[in-house]
Amino acid sequence: MRNVPFLPLLFAVLSLTWFSCENETSAPLPEEGGLPENPSVYIIFPPNGPGDNGFLDKVMSATTEYAIEHPGEVRILLPEDSLQAEIVLSVLEYATMDESQKDTALTVFIGSEYKEILYQANHPEGKQKVLLMEDDGEGAPEWLHTCMIERYGACYLAGAMLAQQKASIVAAMPGESSLERSIEGFKKGYGSIKGREVDAVYYLADNHKGFTMQHRAHQLCDSIQESDKFNYHTIFPLAGAANLGMYNAIGDYFTQIIGMDKDYSSIGNFIPFSINVGIDALLLDCLAQWDESHQLPKQRKEGLDSGFIEFVFNDTWNSNGQFYDWEDENQQFNEEDKNKVLTTEFWKQRYVLFKDQAIKEEKTYEKH
C-alpha cells in the first residue's frame, strides 16, 4: 500500500456513510475515536450503493443474512467515490495491524469500479485478506483474491433464444470486462442462428456512471421503440441500476426486454424471461468458506452450469396478445406446437434447445 498518514485517513474514512450490521432495528454509528474493535468482515459497496432493485440489493441481502448469524462482526461501507475506497483500504490496513485483531479480517470490494485501485496497490500490511467480486483476476496482484459469475454462457444462450427477431444491447459503458464478455456472448449466440447480427449496441456513458443513468436509459429505449415501432424488437439490458429506466420505458410497442440479475416477471408481460444472477449466493458461499478456514481461492469463476446463474420464465409473457403474430422461423412446429409460440412454453423450448451448446461455448471461451 501507499504510505499515507494514518490520522488524516482515519478522519476521512469516518466521514463515509457506513454502519454495522447487527440484530438491532437501527445500526449504531461508530464511537468517537476510530473503527469498532473487532469487526472481521468489511463489505465495501461501489459509489452508487444499494438501491438498484437488482445486483447490489442482492449483495446487501446476503450481507445482512451473514451479519445476523455473526452479530457485531460485519461492517458495511458506502464510499461516495472510488478515491474514498482507496482511503478505506489504507485505514483497514492500519486497523487490522492491532494485536487485538486476533483473526484475519476479510475486506470485500463489490464491483469492477475498484479493479484499478486494487491492481495498483501494494500488499496490505495489516491482518486482512482482500476479495474483489465481479472480476476474473487475470493479472491481479498475488495477494488479491477474486471471484465472479461468468455470464458469457448465459448471454450466449439468451442470444440464441432471441435470434428469431431483432435485438439491441444497451450497456452501461464500454471497456468493462464483465460487460464486454456478456456482449460478446450474446452476439455469438445470436449469430449462431443463420449468421444474424445484433441490430445495435448502445452505451449509456464512457465510465461507471453509466450504471446509474436511469433517465438516459429510459430516453434511449424510447428512441429505440419509436424508430422501430412496427417491428418486433428485444432489448438486452446490461447497465446495472440503469436497467430500471429501461423497464419503465417499455410500453405499447412491439418491444420486449429481458430481466437481468433477478426475476423481473412482476414488472410486466413484456419480459419473456429473466437471467437470475446469484451474486448473493456466491457471496454467502465465499463468506462461509472464509469463516470456516480463513482461506479463499486465488480466483473463482462460476458459469452457466454452476447453479449460480439461472433462467426464470415469466408465465404472464404476452398475456395481452401484444405479440400476436410472433413466430419462430428457425424451428419447425407441428400444429400443437404453434399454439405454444405465443406463450412462455415457446421460451422454455428454446432454452432446452440451446442450453447444452451455450455451456459448451462458454467452456471453449474460457480456454482462450
The per-residue pLDDT for 20 is 46
Query: Can you list the residues of the chain whose pLDDT is less than 70?
Result: 1-39, 81-103, 126, 327-339
What integer pLDDT is reported at residue 43 of this predicted model? Answer: 92
Q: How many helices (H) and strands (E) does the chain have?
A: 11, 14
Which overall architecture, per CATH, does domain 152-277+308-367 show? 3-Layer(aba) Sandwich (3.40)
Number of alpha carbons in the 13 Å side-chain half-sphere of residue 128: 30
Q: Residue 300's pLDDT is what? A: 95
pLDDT at position 194: 85
Distance CA 164, CA 325 (A): 13
Q: Which pLDDT belongs to residue 117?
A: 85
Q: Looking at residue 169, what is its pLDDT?
A: 98
Calpha distance 164→90 (Å, rounded): 52
What pLDDT was estimated at residue 348?
95
Topology match between the domains 6-150+280-302 and 152-277+308-367: yes
Task: Say which CATH superfamily domain 6-150+280-302 falls into.
Answer: Response regulator (3.40.50.2300)
Alpha helices in the chain (DSSP H): 6-13, 55-69, 82-95, 115-120, 152-162, 177-191, 214-227, 243-249, 279-293, 335-338, 345-367
pLDDT of residue 35: 44
Domain boundaries, the chain: 6-150+280-302, 152-277+308-367
The pLDDT score that the predictor gives to residue 284 is 97
How many C-beta neighbours within 10 Å does residue 322 have? 18
pLDDT for the residue 98: 58
Residue 230: the pLDDT is 83
Buried b or exposed e, range 145-168, using 16+ CB within 10 angstroms: bbbbbbbbbbbbbbbbbbbbbbbb
Cβ(250)–Cβ(256) below 8 Å:
yes
The reported pLDDT for the residue numbered 335 is 57
| pLDDT reported for residue 4 | 40
Q: Give the list of residues 6+ apart from residue 41 with CB closer than 8 angstroms, or none.
A: 66, 70, 73, 74, 75, 105, 106, 107, 108, 287, 290
